[in-house]
């Protein structure tokens, strides 16, 4: 992971569909060299994949919410199986602190949001934060301070 790898990561985080030819031009390497580096980053698991980023409201979802929940240990497995069945739950993290899980979900209406929360908080107390705006939208990961000169 040298500077060039981080340059490639920066470019691919901003435009995941950039061609190898264009990447090569931007970092000043040949196409085979770039292809090889990207392949290594993928194989090493640094690049987990590529995804189109969808605007939820443009896609018909009115609300995005972040929900924290406290679930008793014995119910956790069943709770996670429930989440699998709710497509509106877009991701879920197991966290330290007072909450057990924090998840991000979308809903097509307030009524739907209420219904979804109704199903979810059978498993514990929830705290719902509705996203009003996103002043800092997803930003590319940059090289960590200590790894700047690693090879």
- Touching DNA, residues 28-87 (CB under 7 A): 29-33, 35-37
40 versus 127: smaller Cβ distance to DNA: 40
Can you read off the two tokens belonging to residue 82? Answer: 């429930």
Smallest gap from Cβ 7 to a copy of itself, in A, equals 13
Q: By CB under 8 A, is residue 21 in contact with a copy of itself? A: no
The item of a copy of itself, DNA, none sharing an interface with residue 95, based on CB under 5 to 8 Å by kind, is a copy of itself
Q: By CB under 7 A, is residue 15 in contact with DNA? A: no
Q: How far is CA 83 from the centre of its chain?
A: 17
The item of a copy of itself, DNA, none sharing an interface with residue 16, based on CB under 5 to 8 Å by kind, is a copy of itself
| Nearest residue to 47 via CA among 19, 10, 18, 91 | 10
Backbone angles phi, psi at 48, to 5 degrees: -80, -25
Strand partners for 68: 102, 127
């Amino acid at each position: 992971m040298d500077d060039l790898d981080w340059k490639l990561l920066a470019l691919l985080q901003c435009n995941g569909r950039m061609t190898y030819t264009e990447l090569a031009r931007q970092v000043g390497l040949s196409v085979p060299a770039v292809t090889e580096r990207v392949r290594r980053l993928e194989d090493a698991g640094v690049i987990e994949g590529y995804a189109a980023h969808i605007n939820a409201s443009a896609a018909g979802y009115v609300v995005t919410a972040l929900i924290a929940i406290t679930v008793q240990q014995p119910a956790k497995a069943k709770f996670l199986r429930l989440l699998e069945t709710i497509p509106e739950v877009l991701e879920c993290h197991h966290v330290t602190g007072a909450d057990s899980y924090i998840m991000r979900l979308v809903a097509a209406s307030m009524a739907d949001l209420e219904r979804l929360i109704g199903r979810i908080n059978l498993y514990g107390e929830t705290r719902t934060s509705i996203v009003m705006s996103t002043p800092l939208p997803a930003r590319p990961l940059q090289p960590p301070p200590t790894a700047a000169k690693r090879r």
